[in-house]
Amino acid sequence: MTDTPTDQPEAAPAPGPTEQLHGAYVTRPRGELVLHTVPAEYLGLVEQLRTDGYWLCVDLCAVDYLGSSADRGLPAEVEPQRFEVVVNLLDPASRSRVRLRCQVPGDEPVVPSLFAVHPGTEAPEREAFDLFGVVFEGHPDPTRILLPEDWEGHPLRRDADPGRIPVQFKAASNSR
C-alpha cells in the first residue's frame, strides 16, 4: 500500500518566465500582441520595431490610472505607474499590429518623443501633454494644442478639479 493520494488534482506547474520581444515583456490579451516597456527603453523599442516592419504609427495616447484598483493586465515583472503612454503600430506588409504600453511615473511623467521615428506623432504627443501633462522629451513643438497657452493644469488628469473650470460664453449679437 502506498501513501500517494489518487483523488487530488495535480499541482499546477510553476509559471515560467514571461515572454520577451526586444527586451520588452509580452502579453497577448484576446490574441493581440502587447509589449510593455519603461521610458528608458521606449524609443529604442520603437526603433527596433520600425526595422522589423512596423513603420506605421496609427495612434498614441495617454492614460491616467490614479486611484484605479482594476487589474491592468500587466506582466508580474512590470511595475504599474500612474500614467501609461499607449502606442499602436502597424506592419502593413504582414498585416500585423503591435501595441506598446509604456509605464510612466506620476512624479516625473517624461518619455522620449517618437517624432524623429514617426513624424505623425507630433499632434498626438502634444495632445497627451496638453490633457495629461506627459512631457515628450525632444518634441519639436512642446506647446499646448487644444487649450489656451495660459491654461493651468491638465484637465484629463484624475486629480484635476473639473468644477473649478469657468465656462466662457461668447456674447450673442443682437444685430439682424
pTM of the model: 0.82
89 touches 59 (CB < 8 A): no
100 touches 35 (CB < 8 A): yes
Q: What is the mean pLDDT of residues 79-106?
A: 98
Cell reading at 74:
500587466
Q: What is the mean pLDDT of residues 99-111?
A: 98
Average the pLDDT over each of 31-35, 56-60, 88-92, 168-172 and give the range with the smallest value: 168-172
Percent residues over pLDDT 70 in the chain: 82
Q: What are the structural domains of the chain?
A: 20-159 (3.30.460.80)
Handedness of CA 76, 79, 84, 85 (dihedral sign): negative
Q: What is the mean pLDDT of residues 124-147?
A: 97
- Kindly give the pairing relationship between strand 96-104 and strand 24-27: unpaired
For 22, 33, 38, 121, the CA distances from 155, given in Å and listed in that order, are 35, 31, 24, 21
Alpha helices in the chain (DSSP H): 39-51, 122-132
Q: How confident is the model at residue 174 (pLDDT cuts 50, 70, 90)?
A: low
In angstroms, the CA 85 to CA 64 distance is 9
Q: What is the mean pLDDT of residues 156-170?
A: 74
Phi, psi for 169 (deg, rounded to 5): -105, 145
Is the model's pLDDT at 98 over the cut of 50?
Answer: yes
Cell reading at 56:
506605421
Instruction: Write the CB contacts of 103 (distance below 8 Å, at least 6 apart in sequence).
Output: 36, 37, 38, 74, 78, 79, 80, 81, 83, 84
Distance of CA 102 to the CA centre of its chain: 5
Q: How confident is the model at residue 13 (pLDDT cuts 50, 70, 90)?
A: very low
Q: What is the mean pLDDT of residues 25-43?
A: 97
Q: How confident is the model at residue 12 (pLDDT cuts 50, 70, 90)?
A: very low
Q: What is the mean pLDDT of residues 13-22?
A: 74
